[in-house]
Amino acid sequence: MRFFKETNIQFIKFSKTAIILSSVFLLISLVSIFLIRGFNLGIDFTGGTLVQVQFEKETTTGEIRNALASVNLQNSVIQKSTGTNEYMIRVAQMNDENDVPTLVTQGLKKINDSGFEIRKTEKVGPKIGQELRRNTIYAIVFAILVIGVYISIRFQFRFAIGAVVALIHDVLFTLGIFSLAHLEISLSTIAAFLTIVGYSLNDTIVLYDRVREDMKIMRFDPIEAIINKSINQTLSRTIITSLTTFFVVFVLIFASGEVRVFAIAMMIGVVVGTYSSIYVAGPVVIAWQNKFNAKKN
Amino acid sequence: MFKKTNIRFIIIGLALLLAGYSLFWTIAYNTFSEEKLEAMRTDGTIDQFEARTIRLGLDLQGGMHVVLELNIPRLVETLASNKTPQFDALLEKCTKEHRESGEDFFTIFRRNVDVEDFKLVRHFNDRGYKNSEIIASLQDESKDAMQRALQIIRNRVDQFGVSEPTIQKAGQNRIIVELAGIKDIEHARNLIQSTALLEFTLLKDPQVTQSFISSVDNYLKTGHGDIVKEETAEEDTTVALKESKDKAVSVNELLGISETDAEMESSDNDTSLVVDEELFAEKPFSSLMRNVHNSIGVPEKNVYAVKKILANPEVQKLLPYDSKFLWSAKPERVTTNDGKTENYYLLYHLEREAGIQGKYITKATATIGGAQTKASGQPIVNISMNNEGAKIFSRLTGSNIGKFLAIILDDKIYMAPRLSVKIPNGSAYIEGLESMEEAKNLAIVLRAGALPAPVDIMEERTIGPSLGRDSINTSAKVGLIGFLLVIAFMAFYYKGAGLLADLAVLLNFIFVMAILATLGATLSLPGIAGLILTVGIAVDANVLIFERIREELERGKTVRAAIDAGYNRAFRTILDANVTTMLTALILMQFGTGPVRGFGVTLFWGILCSMFTAIFVTRTIFNFRTDRKILKTLSI
């Protein structure tokens, strides 16, 4: 069985449209991140306390807030996990004198003496939060740099530029969606971002590898034609791999908690990664080549 | 060619054998019943399983993760004398800067002292005159405090009541404590943060100890009689049966004669209880012990059994009221007469009341004994006490010359030196230490009780056991569905070759688990996510290969040539793609903490294994088929 036999789609033709589309979305992302919504950072990065409670009976956010008011924690962020009777209660401070989870337990007893179970508590000090934020930025920047160096060695410098631009595009894109949708960014989301980096790169490298091979065969063709051909040649692999990965990641969405957020990030990543390896990684190499040639002439 | 394929099969077979061996322990461990596990704990064979089993992360089995930090500003404040408002202001400023920038406290302190031209000598005694000297001395002090804090927490390990607690130093002044499966979080938190208790307590006379041990032997012997009675008279009333059964359990396990143990003993003598068979019946308790340097030594494997007997309420009744038993903090390696080297824990019988509290100690330093003393040239530990302590110590030593005084930190005994003279002025030294290293460690213990190291909880995460169970259930379910979907798709899309890829994915899973078991790694929720992602990557390698083979076939190549070309061309792509992903995984392992790290670990090894399974294994099977006959068509 085959989905595609030899295709000859003119991908590069649409690259101008794609670049405009990407630019517009990245602009929206940046505006959202820096000017309007910012990030919904989890306590891993801000410091604070999180308590996960499961109730036996249906309970509303209002009831919980009232109960928490008795211990002066009415300003907590209370979030229901979809499809369950479970709530996440987030408190800004991590108070050493009064253990916050103990306070929350005390407060919740107002609703029902024993009809709930504390499933998870997390307390993160502000100093740790700050450090994690710093380390995470290091990790992402460092990862992109190392990958750039590797591609420069294995391919050519302009390919490295293309891959790095594609990576930054993907990360910004995903961050933009997280900012717009106000999804929480936690440690496992960061792991997901780095996986997106790896995944999108996979696609890009498969393409570049083919371009490297085709450049030897189609020595006198313009770079646009070579890249377009390579995209078509690898298209069937790209679709199948994206599809299988999508299966796995899609199923993960039905898991709970951190894994779910991870899966959402990965879903976005698979789609954006596939798109960017065709419409960002390719065109950047073309643009670089054209500029370079123009100078030489 | 045929031979080459054979060699490839042998390599695959060997890899599978190795994987099977390293997974055996995990599988066996998880199939044992709770009774069997308890039996293994008693006869000391459980360690070899626990060391080789894939452990579940805190997020999967529930537990507590705590990050502690030494509060250096507070330590400096405690060490300072004649505090002036200026000094307080300086300290506050440095503390604030330290908290905001995360820069090393002493670097900030030094800078501010220089800027304000502060004279530190006014506030710190015995630490030199120059600011730089004083700061260096304070830095040493903070390192020492860190050692003390670690020592105290390690010392309390078995009080946490979990099987394998992790206590590790992280960076300059942090300690990470991980307690899997812990129930009483409040208790654990108190244990971590409370100050250490140092005591000096006299040992009981050996005669008293001897008579207690004999009486326990006698008690257990009668207990053993009960079992025999139960076996012969099965028609006893239920109440009586229940009673005798309780006793039967403890004695049985102690003697190592339950059914499972008997099996163990015959198959593997080294791991069974270290007991003299003949002494069994006669002295069921004392036969578990040995004489080690004239103290009671208990081989490591027997410790659990001895503890169990001592905790028995009936045995407790036999114990003289004014006494208690405590264990040495560390095992001692001893070679017995028959040439066997083993770890022994020393068991001490002591007075119930402490002779003197450790809080009176003002100083404890490791040094080399002076020329004119008895311990000349040997490592010793000097102790000084304050006036109040000196008085108590003088009385204690005066009336107990010749007796042994145990040094106890948090109910663990570090040493029990003999009192040789009366010590009137509170300044004593301890001799008989084997090395300078040992002397230094003892000095840390002695200071731990006197100078508390202020530690703060920076991070604390607890996961209830029910959440862990739910996580395992959902992730296993979800993982399985994803796995099956991919497998079905591959078989559907690539037919025969697709099944081959499925086999590769399955093998990949086995190999990754085997590597995790060998590394003694922990499997956490993000680790499972990494594993699932690995499935995707392993499949991708095969997709790349198969697409290429199809392409080559379309160009009119023969099956054999198409396979060769497909693998060769695709290999480069796979290598480049995988190396970059592995680089990302390595960075995650390096920068990531806890959960993120676990993800990096499984991803890294998963990709590495996938190169073997998706390329080497599938190629071998293709080769095997083309070797035997020339294939006209390929199921791909």
pLDDT in tens, B141-187: 899 888 888 888 888 877 777 777 888 888 888 999 988 888 788 88
A173 and A58 in a common domain = no
- Mean pLDDT of the B93-107 span: 86
Say whether pLDDT at A166 is over 80.
yes
Neighboring chain A residues of B525 at a CB cutoff of 8 Å: 257-259
Q: Residue B308: its pLDDT value, please?
A: 84
Q: Residue B184: its pLDDT value, please?
A: 80
Q: What is the DSSP letter of A34?
A: I
B5-34 b/e (C-beta count within 10 Å ≥ 16 → b): beebeeebeebeeebeebbebbeebeeeee
Residue with tokens 């313009």: A222
The interface residues of chain A toward chain B in range 130-159, judged by CB-CB distance below 8 A, are 130-132, 134-136, 138-139, 142-143, 146-147, 150-151, 154
Which one of A72, A93, A124 terminates a domain? A124
Residue B196, Cβ density class (10 Å: 0-12 exposed, 13-18 middle, ≥19 buried): buried
Q: What angle in degrees, to the nearest 10, is found between the helix axes of B72-79 and B131-155?
A: 110
Q: Residue A11: its pLDDT value, please?
A: 84
Say whether pLDDT at B461 is over 50.
yes
Neighboring chain B residues of A248 at a CB cutoff of 8 Å: 482-483, 485-486, 532-533, 535-536
pLDDT confidence bin for B280, thresholds 50/70/90: low
| Residue B623: Cβ within 10 Å count | 20
Q: Residue B172: its pLDDT value, please?
A: 82
Note the maximum CA span of chain A.
82
Q: A113: domain CATH number? A: 3.30.70.3220
A255 and A197 in a common domain = yes
A189 and A81 in a common domain = no
CA–CA min distance A223, chain B (Å): 20
A291 and A234 in a common domain = yes
Which one of A124, A151, A177 terminates a domain? A124
State whether A191 and B592 contact (CB < 8 Å): yes
B467 in contact with A, Cβ within 8 Å: yes
Structure tokens at B211: 């008579």
A164 and A114 in a common domain = no
Question: What letter represents residue B191's amino acid?
Answer: L
Measure the CA angle with vertex A194, ends A189 and A195; round to 5°: 90
Question: What letter represents residue A213's amino acid?
Answer: E
A97 and A36 in a common domain = no
Highest mean pLDDT (candidates A198-212, B156-170, B606-620)? B606-620
| Helical H segments across chain A, by residue range | 15-31, 43-46, 61-69, 100-108, 126-154, 157-180, 187-217, 223-252, 257-276, 282-296
Say whether pLDDT at B581 is over 80.
yes
- Mean pLDDT of the B501-529 span: 88
What span, in angstroms and rounded, lies between the C-alpha atoms of B436 and B366?
A: 7
- Mean pLDDT of the B545-568 span: 91
Tell me the domain boundaries of chain B.
Answer: 2-57+466-628, 64-164, 206-319, 357-393+403-450
Residue B186, Cβ density class (10 Å: 0-12 exposed, 13-18 middle, ≥19 buried): exposed
Say whether pLDDT at A101 is over 80.
yes
- Mean pLDDT of the A268-287 span: 88
Query: How many domains is chain A partitioned into structurally?
Result: 2
A23 and A120 in a common domain = no
The answer as to CATH 3.40.50.2000 being correct for domain B357-393+403-450 is no
What span, in angstroms and rounded, lies between the C-alpha atoms of B527 and A26?
A: 31
What span, in angstroms and rounded, lies between the C-alpha atoms of B513 and B531?
A: 9
B292-321 b/e (C-beta count within 10 Å ≥ 16 → b): beebbbbbebbbbbbbbbbebeebeeebee
- Mean pLDDT of the A181-201 span: 79
Q: What percent of chain A has pLDDT over 90?
A: 15
Residue with tokens 């989890």: A42
What span, in angstroms and rounded, lies between the C-alpha atoms of B289 and A39?
A: 63
pLDDT confidence bin for B226, thresholds 50/70/90: very low
Q: Residue B624: its pLDDT value, please?
A: 87
In 3-state terms, what secondary structure has residue B94?
Answer: helix
Say whether pLDDT at A254 is over 80.
no
State whether A241 and B482 contact (CB < 8 Å): no
Is residue A170 in some structural domain?
A: yes
pLDDT in tens, B22-45: 888 888 888 888 888 877 777 777
**Overall residue count recorded for chain B in this entry:** 636
Range of the domain at A88: 48-124
The ipTM is 0.86
pLDDT confidence bin for B453, thresholds 50/70/90: confident
A233 and A183 in a common domain = yes
| Residue B480: Cβ within 10 Å count | 11
Which residues have CB under 8 Å from B456's CB, separation 6+? A96, A125, B68, B69, B71
Q: What percent of chain B has pLDDT over 70?
A: 89
Q: Residue A257: its pLDDT value, please?
A: 66
pLDDT in tens, A40-91: 888 888 888 999 998 888 888 888 888 888 888 888 888 887 777 888 888 8
What span, in angstroms and rounded, lies between the C-alpha atoms of A186 and A259?
A: 11
The mean pLDDT of chain B is 81
Residue B245 or B20, more confident = B20
- Mean pLDDT of the B276-286 span: 65
Q: How far is CA A65 from CA A60, A87, A119, B290, in A?
A: 9, 11, 19, 63
Q: How far is CA B215 from CA B308, B319, B337, in A?
A: 16, 9, 27
State whether B588 and A191 contact (CB < 8 Å): yes
Nearest to B182 by CA among B162, B157, B206, B154: B162
Out of A120-134, B122-136, B247-261, B398-412, which region has the weakest mean confidence (pLDDT)?
B247-261
Question: What letter represents residue A272's amino acid?
Answer: V
pLDDT in tens, B246-276: 333 333 333 333 333 333 333 333 334 445 5
pLDDT in tens, B590-608: 877 666 788 888 999 999 9
pLDDT confidence bin for B407, thresholds 50/70/90: very high
The interface residues of chain B toward chain A in range 261-290, judged by CB-CB distance below 8 A, are none
A143 and A182 in a common domain = yes
pLDDT confidence bin for B231, thresholds 50/70/90: very low
Contact B505, B486 (CB under 8 A): yes
Q: What is the pTM of this model?
A: 0.75
Which one of A87, A109, A124 terminates a domain? A124
pLDDT confidence bin for B542, thresholds 50/70/90: very high
Say whether pLDDT at A259 is over 80.
no
B398 in contact with A, Cβ within 8 Å: no
Say whether pLDDT at A184 is over 90.
no
The mean pLDDT of chain A is 84
Q: How far is CA B552 from CA A178, B20, B563, B635, in A?
A: 43, 37, 8, 14
Q: Residue B235: its pLDDT value, please?
A: 34
Contact B141, B70 (CB under 8 A): no
Question: What letter represents residue A210's amino acid?
Answer: R
List of long-range contacts for B81-89, beta carbons under 8 Å, 24+ apart: B81/B123, B81/B124, B81/B125, B82/B122, B82/B123, B83/B123, B84/B122, B84/B123, B86/B118, B87/B118, B87/B123
- Mean pLDDT of the A109-125 span: 83
What span, in angstroms and rounded, lies between the C-alpha atoms of A176 and A181?
A: 8
Residue B591 or B306, more confident = B306
The interface residues of chain A toward chain B in range 12-31, judged by CB-CB distance below 8 A, are none
Q: For residue B404, list its beta bridge partners.
A: B418
How many residue pairs from chains A and B have C-beta atoms closer than 8 A? 197
What span, in angstroms and rounded, lies between the C-alpha atoms of B57 and B597?
A: 12
What span, in angstroms and rounded, lies between the C-alpha atoms of B327 and B304?
A: 12
| Helical H segments across B358-435, by residue range | 387-398
State whether B463 and A142 contact (CB < 8 Å): no
Q: Residue B108: its pLDDT value, please?
A: 93
State whether B539 and A130 contact (CB < 8 Å): no
CA A279 vs. chain centroid, Å, equals: 19
What span, in angstroms and rounded, lies between the C-alpha atoms of A82 and B148?
A: 47
Q: Residue B596: its pLDDT value, please?
A: 75
Contact B64, B182 (CB under 8 A): yes
Question: What letter represents residue A202's amino acid?
Answer: N
**Half-sphere exposure (Cβ direction) of A257: Cα atoms closer than 13 Å:** 25
Q: Residue B227: its pLDDT value, please?
A: 30
Which chain A residue lies closest to B98 (C-alpha atoms)?
A127
Structure tokens at B602: 């499984």
Which residues have CB under 8 Å from B59's CB, separation 6+? B463, B467, B468, B471, B524, B525, B595
Out of A52-56, B225-229, B477-481, which region has the weakest mean confidence (pLDDT)?
B225-229
CA B92 vs. chain centroid, Å, equals: 38
> Sign (positive/negative) of CA torsion A106, A108, A113, A114?
negative
Contact B127, B138 (CB under 8 A): yes
Test mutation, B532, B535, B546, chain A, max A CBs within 10 A: B532
A190 and A203 in a common domain = yes
Structure tokens at A39: 């990030």
What span, in angstroms and rounded, lies between the C-alpha atoms of B51 and B540?
A: 35
Q: Residue A187: its pLDDT value, please?
A: 78
What span, in angstroms and rounded, lies between the C-alpha atoms of B506 and B57?
A: 23
- Mean pLDDT of the B455-469 span: 86
State whether A256 and B471 contact (CB < 8 Å): yes
Q: Residue A265: its pLDDT value, please?
A: 81
Contact B537, B610 (CB under 8 A): yes
pLDDT confidence bin for B536, thresholds 50/70/90: confident
Test mutation, B492, B540, B548, B582, chain A, max A CBs within 10 A: B540
A157 and A22 in a common domain = yes
A290 and A203 in a common domain = yes
Say whether pLDDT at B340 is over 80.
no
pLDDT confidence bin for B17, thresholds 50/70/90: very high
Which chain B residue lies closest to A263 (C-alpha atoms)?
B529
Structure tokens at A46: 């801000």
Structure tokens at B65: 């993760």
Say whether pLDDT at B230 is over 50.
no
Question: What letter represents residue A238's amino acid?
Answer: T
Q: A292: domain CATH number? A: 1.20.1640.10
> H-helix or E-strand containing B530?
helix B525-554
List of long-range contacts for A153-159, beta carbons under 8 Å, 24+ apart: A154/B576, A155/A208, A155/A212, A158/A284, A158/A285, A158/A288, A158/A289, A158/A292, A159/A208, A159/A211, A159/A285
- Mean pLDDT of the B511-536 span: 85
Q: What is the CATH number of domain B2-57+466-628?
A: 1.20.1640.10
In 3-state terms, what secondary structure has residue B177?
Answer: strand
Q: Residue B264: its pLDDT value, please?
A: 36
Is residue A2 in some structural domain?
A: no
Question: What letter represents residue A270's amino acid?
Answer: V
Q: Residue B488: its pLDDT value, please?
A: 92
